[in-house]
Structure 1
Amino acid sequence: MSLTEPDTNSPPDDGLRSDQPPGTRRGRRTVLAGAAVTTVLAAVAAGVFVLRGEDDAGRPAQAGPLPPRTTEVTRQSLKDTRTVDGELGFGPTTAVTGRRVGTITGVPKTGDRIARGQPVYAVDAEPVPLLYGALPAYRSLVPGVEGEDVRQLEENLWSLGYRGFTVDDDYTEATAEAVADWQEDLGVPETGVLELGRAVFAPGEIRVDSVKATVGAAATAGGEVLTYTGRAKAVTAALDTTDQRLAAKDAEVTVTLPDDTTVRGRVHDVATVIEPATGPNEQPATKVEVVVALDDPQAQQAATPYALAAVDVTFTAGTRENVLTVPVAALLALPAGGFGVEVVTGATTRHVPVSMGLFASGRVEVSGEGLAEGTVVGMPK
């Protein structure tokens, strides 16, 4: 990648198809199965779940009016899922701000990929290269200083092929000699010191998302030069704060692409963000931003044709294997408190208190005395 003034006559060659903008695929959907407990309580308050008769739970079976409909207790696996809108791209953007004063003499193009040791931009005809590391540069590194940032620099020097020093957290004279050799190869002053602003640190290879500076503009301390993303395809989704439990680090999710292909993803990063108010009478909203990594090579390949696209992200809130379930509508509010079901045996019925577990897809996990697979229970009209 060479640093040149951006060519305004040629769009960036991303190697990706960008002819399908976000929002053009089928309508978005949000599954709200996780709110079933709240729904049940609200339905009780509204009188949806009512007893047919006045007998207490546990009273022997009585002959009388039968429920209008019945269903059977089933044994199955329940999976509580939540599907939200997501955006397929390259994940969140990060800004690169200048730390040196001078003149911008080179910038990349939008879509450029930059690897370790390659220039991100140039000031006064001197390249500012990319180095890998999670810790941003915050001071000049000179012989005698110690710290994790020293180790980070030495790991990069070693990966670039420079030797003669020990990779540790001490900036020794041997480290300075390796830095001077590196600076000679870069064509910058061979000081043996890594001054603040002479390199950009990022977790790995980057993709230039947008270029803010122009060739010939003044380089100022704190001036934004460009923004970048990671190189791999990723999905960004926003959850309500009440759903933060879904976004467990490294949790598996399913991503549905615009062509209805489903691929596996993994929760890579979770952050709380404040969305500004959109109107004078609205308040800022707090959201949980989730970045989903598509680690599977097949997932990356399936996502490659789309530069940006709207997708569905399905989170799994809970799973219960081989449990007894009934439709949520079969639950009754018992006079003594709690919930139960109306068990139907021939021409008689009795109310059986139940303990409830996972809610999913309109059904609820239940357990109670005498309940078994195939037990007939009442249902409302």
Structure 2
Amino acid sequence: MRKVALAGACVLAVAVAGAAVAVLTDGGAGAATPAAATQVGVPATAAITRQDLVDTKTVSGALTYSGERQVTAGAAGTLTWVAAEGAAVRRGRALFRTDRKPTILLYGKLPLYRDLRLGVEDGPDVEQLERNLAALGYDGFTVDDEFTYATYEAVVEWQEDNGLPETGRVDAAQVVFLPSAVRVTDARGELGARTAPGQQVLTVSGLDRVVHVDLDTDDQTLAKKGAKVTVELPGGEKAAGKITSVGTVARTAKDSTTVDVDITLDKKPRTKLDQAPVEVELVSERREDVLAVPVEALLALREGGFGVEIVEGARTRLLPVKVGAFGSGLVEISGDGLAEGMKVGVPAA
């Protein structure tokens, strides 16, 4: 719940506390001395400070992995091996096997939309393939957008090393292009299951940890790309982070409408759990160079509004104040007669 609401609860608690609560007379100008102060002595005090005040709101999220996407089969057949959930798969490694033939992960942003072979038209997908072959240690060709006979020979060698038919032709049954190494988040395909082109076999994600928040659209103004946040992780671990993306498409589920917000942590978290629940502290409002007192210093006034009990030596007086932002257990106050360093009464506890 928002800290403003919590602060309001604190104010109400103070307002009904009994002897510690003072009220203005009906005239509103003269302040009555609290009974507790005259009978017991000088109350406990806190200083009015001048500082920046940050109001925050805490929302729920989940610690997960970046860039989730689906991997589909490129050919019909029987699944004979599937990478396990939680496994990390890097360039040149198999994601799954159909009829014992591997479908191998290669790096690239461009999906394999055509077979790559001798005679194919020049294009960036050819260069993407050659870049991967070079990274895996195959040579004898120039990394460019042309599929030459040297490229063909490198492909045949790569196919031989991986137990694939040595055709010199690369198709969707043999490779999947993804931007980087992946982590298997869901192994949909079961051993022995029949597959068909386009049928989902795996769900994978990136290896980087991110915090994902389904943020209510009413709070969308709190999430700005690049803004710093604080995240409370499982086990009480706290981590600093930065908002890296804010969705522009609202999603409606049950009684709420949300947008996607992703947060990158400054340091790698200790927990290895996926979808672990976390709490994210977003900055709602920042007030600079204001007078502030502890929330519990506020007193409810009979005619409405709030005041603070000014303590000057053995004497006390009640001063009405205007309340501003809340944050970190403090509240912004303003009004005539207030100054930094003045003492205000607070509950002894």
TM-score after normalising by structure 1: 0.63
Q: 2:201 aligns with which of 214, 219, 225?
A: 225
The amino acid of 1:315's aligned partner reads L
SS of the counterpart of 2:131? helix
8 Å contact kept, 2:63–2:212: yes
Q: Identity of counterpart residues, as a percentage?
A: 41
Match in the other structure for 2:162:
186
- Cα RMSD of the aligned pairs, angstroms, is 4.4
Q: Give unpaired runs (5+ residues) of structure 1.
A: 1-30, 40-51, 56-61, 278-282, 333-338
Cα displacement (A) at 1:165: 4.1
Match in the other structure for 2:271:
303
Match in the other structure for 2:251:
274
SS of the counterpart of 2:137? coil
| 1:129 lines up with 2:100 in the alignment | no
Residues 359 and 75 (structure 1), Cα distance of their counterparts in 2 relative to 1, 3 Å cut = same
| 1:213 lines up with 2:189 in the alignment | yes
Q: Give unpaired runs (5+ residues) of structure 2.
A: 9-23, 38-44
Match in the other structure for 2:234:
258
Match in the other structure for 2:283:
316
Q: Distance in 2 between matches of 1:141 and 1:240?
A: 46
Q: Distance in 1 between matches of 2:55 and 2:141?
A: 54
8 Å contact kept, 2:321–2:334: no
| 1:115 lines up with 2:90 in the alignment | yes
Q: Distance in 2 between matches of 1:79 and 1:374?
A: 20
Deviations 1:296-318 (A, max 9, x none): 24x2xx213x4553332223345
Number of equivalent positions: 315
8 Å contact kept, 2:229–2:282: yes
Residues 314 and 154 (structure 1), Cα distance of their counterparts in 2 relative to 1, 3 Å cut = farther
Match in the other structure for 2:57:
82
Which shows bigger deviation, 245-254 or 209-218? 245-254
8 Å contact kept, 1:92–1:236: no
Match in the other structure for 2:123:
146
Q: 1:373 aligns with which of 333, 340, 349?
A: 340
Cα displacement (A) at 1:341: 8.4
Q: Distance in 1 between matches of 2:173 and 2:337?
A: 73
Residues 121 and 261 (structure 1), Cα distance of their counterparts in 2 relative to 1, 3 Å cut = same
Cα displacement (A) at 1:188: 1.9
| 1:32 lines up with 2:2 in the alignment | yes
Q: Distance in 1 between matches of 2:221 and 2:126?
A: 37
TM-score after normalising by structure 2: 0.68
Structure number with larger C-alpha Rg: 2
Which shows bigger deviation, 263-272 or 204-213? 263-272
Cα displacement (A) at 1:225: 0.5
Match in the other structure for 1:291:
262
Q: Distance in 2 between matches of 1:367 and 1:165?
A: 75
8 Å contact kept, 2:307–2:318: no
Deviations 1:254-286 (A, max 9, x none): 332332222333434444563533xxxxx5x32
Q: Distance in 2 between matches of 1:273 and 1:137?
A: 31
Residues 123 and 350 (structure 1), Cα distance of their counterparts in 2 relative to 1, 3 Å cut = closer
Q: Distance in 2 between matches of 1:343 and 1:287?
A: 43
8 Å contact kept, 2:76–2:195: yes
